[in-house]
């Protein structure tokens, strides 16, 4: 059994930030990540451009310098790897936490590779591994995907993109450029206000010129291997489709959070925590990053979630002083 001061579950940007600040307190810190370092960013589309500037994505007061103001996916991968090296962070990647239990003042963590003890635990697991599911017949067919990587395989294919926010619009744009026949189906009455302002004019232009078909106020009723059936205000329509991208958002792993004792608000899905310290109702158990937002993932991003580590470090620092 390995004993350490603090364990952070999840090695995304917010988990890395928390590790840096805790390590600077003099604590021994271990990050446990079931995928690779910044796994969610690695899963982004190959040519993804961030909404935030590189400065707002930086952590640990280590500059993130790029040629363009808004970095792309690969820029971020290089930066966060470099930060992990500079800060000499200990990261167990490819290891899944199965359970977290607290006995007295000590947390016991069991993973698929070992057992650990720690005085403090920070959960920074994000939400990208938990896509929202469609309530439609055929939603689990193999031609339905919740992640978009790149458009090349869909040249001259009929593709239906479900959703109307950034991930859906980005995917539709890349697919159209690669020669796919793209239809976007969205339940909203107009474009989401969260769509990045610098890409919406180009997207609307493609819609207006018939390059992309955009259908608002539409509900998906059934997905088949060759078509998608939708219902709109004017009735039922079937759209030919080889592939479906259901880009309808993601959510935290509520089962895991509940299993380790974190209480959740039923309606919002938000964990109950102290907003000043990020500490949950379980003493010495903290959260960091987008999971603090529950179902409203658009309220916390890297640029504000990265500061959670500072709040956690301050809280633990005060506890350490009180115990001296």
Over residues 279-304, the pLDDT tens digits come to 999 999 999 999 988 877 667 778 88
Structurally, at CATH architecture level, domain 144-246 sits in: 3-Layer(bba) Sandwich (3.50)
| pLDDT of res. 69 | 84
Please indicate whether the domains covering 2-130+250-323 and 144-246 agree at the CATH topology level. Answer: yes
Question: CATH top-level class for 2-130+250-323?
Answer: alpha beta
Residue with tokens 């107009």: 190
Other C-beta atoms lying within 10 Å of the C-beta of residue 281: 12
| pLDDT of res. 197 | 86
Q: Domain residues of the chain, as ranges?
A: 2-130+250-323, 144-246
Over residues 36-51, the pLDDT tens digits come to 999 999 999 998 888 8
| pLDDT of res. 278 | 96
Over residues 238-294, the pLDDT tens digits come to 999 999 999 998 888 999 999 999 999 888 888 999 999 999 999 999 999 999 888
Which residue ranges of the chain lie beneath pLDDT 70? Answer: 297-298
Following CA atoms 143, 296, 107, 115 in sequence, which dihedral angle do they give, to the nearest 10 degrees?
10
Entry pTM: 0.92
| pLDDT of res. 209 | 97
Asked if 196 and 53 touch (Cβ cutoff 8 Å), the reply is: no
| pLDDT of res. 295 | 75
Asked if 21 and 60 touch (Cβ cutoff 8 Å), the reply is: yes
| pLDDT of res. 220 | 97
How far is Cα 145 from Cα 125, in angstroms, rounded to an integer? 22
Which residues are paired to 235 by β-bridges?
A: 232
């Amino acid at each position: 059994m390995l004993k350490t001061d603090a364990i952070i579950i999840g090695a995304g940007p917010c988990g890395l930030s928390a590790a840096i600040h805790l390590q600077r307190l003099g604590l021994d810190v271990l990050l446990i990540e079931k995928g690779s370092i910044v796994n969610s960013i690695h899963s982004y589309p190959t040519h993804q451009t961030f909404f935030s500037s590189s400065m707002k994505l930086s952590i640990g007061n280590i500059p993130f310098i790029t040629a363009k103001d808004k970095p792309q996916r690969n820029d971020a991968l290089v930066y966060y790897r470099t930060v992990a090296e500079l800060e000499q962070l200990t990261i167990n990647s490819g290891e899944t936490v199965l359970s977290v239990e607290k006995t007295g003042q000590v947390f016991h963590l069991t993973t698929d590779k070992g057992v650990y003890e720690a005085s403090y635990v920070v959960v920074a697991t994000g939400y990208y591994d938990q896509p929202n599911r469609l309530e439609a017949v055929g939603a689990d067919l193999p031609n339905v995907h919740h992640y978009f990587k790149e458009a090349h395989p869909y040249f001259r294919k009929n593709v239906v993109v479900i959703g109307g926010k950034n991930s859906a619009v980005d995917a539709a744009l890349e697919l159209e450029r690669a020669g796919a026949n793209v239809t976007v189906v969205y339940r909203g009455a107009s474009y989401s206000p969260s769509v990045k302002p610098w890409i919406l004019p180009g997207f609307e232009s493609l819609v207006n010129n018939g390059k992309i078909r955009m259908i608002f106020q539409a509900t998906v009723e059934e997905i088949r291997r060759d078509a998608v059936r939708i219902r709109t205000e004017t009735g039922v329509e079937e759209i030919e489709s080889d592939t479906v991208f259901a880009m309808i958002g993601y959510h935290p792993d509520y089962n895991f959070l509940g299993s380790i004792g974190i209480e959740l608000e039923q309606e919002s899905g938000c964990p109950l925590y102290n907003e000043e310290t990020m500490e949950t109702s379980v003493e010495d158990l903290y959260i960091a990053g987008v999971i603090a937002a529950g179902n409203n993932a658009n309220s916390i991003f890297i640029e504000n979630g990265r500061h959670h580590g500072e709040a956690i470090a301050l809280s633990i620092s005060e506890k350490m002083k009180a115990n001296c």
